[in-house]
């Protein structure tokens, strides 16, 4: 294998970093769907097979590129057995369970960094193409409108509770937040708009 | 008048800047309510009367310190004649009217900067002590819970529509967003929680 950019080889410790750099650049520029592993490999000067070897799927490469320590599609997959009419509360409970735990500081750092980024393409692509497409499969009508409304309330909870730490929402129990905000999410998913 | 810190005088062009620096530092550290004009003046090495001369009230100094180009309490004051049971929709329409206009880029820059700040005290203080206390005067019960829920959905709309620019909420008409999100805000203000 020959590198077009800097003679990188599979064993080179910088090769993974170069692939991640290229991935971040291309995902941010073109979004998740329109970026191919082949294009990332070409940009990094390696073979596409090496990218798959290091990172697995394009999906996993994206999560590594944005430094997300869990795979949200696995979490969302666990909600597939939940009745769609209970999905709002379950989704919120699941997200709060993760953010209230040991991943909170990583989550806050990621959210702050991505919200402040000059170009919002990375976080937009993550939310739209990884999170919301997954949820959209559960609902029948107006999926784009419904899932973007859901995102607005979900992000609003994350920002006020964990980033701004506005009281009392910052200190409310998960049960309490779910009781109060769950109906909003459920209306956005399946209710009258 | 003698400056304790650096011999600043009323005519010194750096004096306004020094006051703003002190204001930012103290507001961020102690919040709006617990920071006095006297303390800011002392920190800046000037007389409190000079702070009032340059900036008017503590409230206006805060707005200048965080570079907010409009006075939100004036906007909120205009909503005092709106029936509290219509306040959710009116509030949202008013906020979107401002953010959809020429202040949008300033708003986005401010929101990004404040969300990414290492210490969230400034934006928390602004939201809690200037915006929400104002709205709280209109509602009867659970005011802190209700206004913090309102803030979560309002901030969520601002972040998804203007910062992340998630579609379709980024391109929806104001009427459409108000129709869909207004009921959420109204429930938080006066509905069953």
Q: What is the mean pLDDT of each run of 10 residues along chain B (193 residues)?
A: 50 84 87 91 96 93 86 90 96 96 88 86 90 94 97 98 97 98 98 95
Q: Say yes or no: A44 and A122 in one domain.
A: no
Shortest distance between the Cα of B79 and any Cα of chain A, in A, equals 23
| pLDDT beyond 90 at A100 | yes
- Restricting to A residues 78-137, those with a Cβ less than 8 Å away from any Cβ of B are 112-113, 115-116, 120, 123-124, 127-128
> Nearest C-alpha of chain B: how many angstroms from A154?
7
Give the closest residue to B125 by CA, choosing from A160, A157, A166, A168: A166
> Is A6 a residue whose pLDDT tops 70?
no
Contacts of A141 (CB under 8 A, 6+ apart): none
Query: Which among A115, A124, A166 is the nearest to B166, CB-wise?
Result: A124
Structure tokens of A81?
A: 């057995």
- The answer on B80 and B173 residing in a single domain is yes
Q: Would you call B156 an interface residue with chain A, using a CB distance cutoff of 8 Å?
A: yes
Position B5 in a domain: no
> Could you say which of A29, A49, A65 is where a domain stops?
A65
Give the number of other Cβ atoms within 10 Å of residue A20's Cβ.
Answer: 19
CA distance B119 to A10: 42
User: Are B55 and B82 in the same domain?
Assistant: no
Per-residue pLDDT reduced to its tens digit, B28-49: 788 888 899 999 999 999 999 9
One domain, residues B26 and B112: no
> Tens digit of pLDDT for each residue in B124-158?
999 999 899 999 999 999 999 999 999 999 999 99
Range of the domain at A40: 13-65
Q: What is the Cα–Cα distance from B105 to A138, expressed in whole angstroms?
A: 36
Q: Is the bond leading into B26 cis (omega within 30 degrees of zero)? A: no
Q: Crossing angle for the helix pair B143-158 and B87-99, nearest 10 degrees?
A: 30
Packing angle, helices A104-116 and A87-99, rounded to 10 = 100
Q: How many domains does chain A have?
A: 2
Q: For position A41, which CATH number holds?
A: 1.10.10.60
Answer yes or no: is A162 within a domain: yes
Task: Quote the tokens at residue A168.
Answer: 């009392």
Say if A6 falls within a structural domain.
Answer: no
Q: Which of B193, B192, B190 is nearest to B86 (CA)?
A: B190
- Contact status, residue A44 vs residue A18, Cβ threshold 8 Å: yes
Alpha-carbon distances, residue A14 vs A6, A17, A36, A121, B147 (angstroms): 10, 5, 21, 26, 50
- Indicate if B122 and B81 belong to the same structural domain: yes
In A106-178, where do the E strands start and end?
Answer: none
In a shared domain, residues B104 and B86: yes
Model ipTM?
A: 0.86
């Amino acid at each position: 294998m020959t590198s077009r950019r800097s003679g990188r080889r599979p064993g080179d410790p910088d090769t993974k970093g170069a692939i991640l750099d290229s991935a971040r650049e291309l995902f941010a520029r073109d979004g998740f769907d329109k970026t191919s592993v082949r294009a990332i490999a070409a940009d990094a000067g390696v073979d596409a097979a090496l990218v798959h070897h290091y990172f697995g799927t394009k999906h996993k490469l994206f999560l590594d590129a944005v430094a997300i320590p869990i795979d949200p599609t696995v979490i969302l997959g666990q909600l597939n057995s939940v009745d769609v009419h209970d999905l709002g509360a379950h989704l919120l409970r699941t997200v709060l369970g993760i953010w209230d735990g040991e991943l909170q500081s990583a989550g806050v750092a990621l959210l702050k960094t991505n919200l402040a980024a000059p170009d919002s393409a990375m976080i937009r692509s993550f939310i739209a193409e990884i999170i919301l497409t997954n949820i959209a499969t559960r609902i029948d009508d107006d999926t784009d409108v419904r899932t973007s409304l859901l995102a607005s309330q979900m992000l609003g909870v994350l920002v006020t509770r964990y980033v701004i730490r506005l009281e009392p929402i910052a200190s409310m129990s998960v049960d309490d937040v779910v009781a109060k905000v769950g109906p909003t999410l459920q209306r956005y998913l399946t209710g009258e708009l």
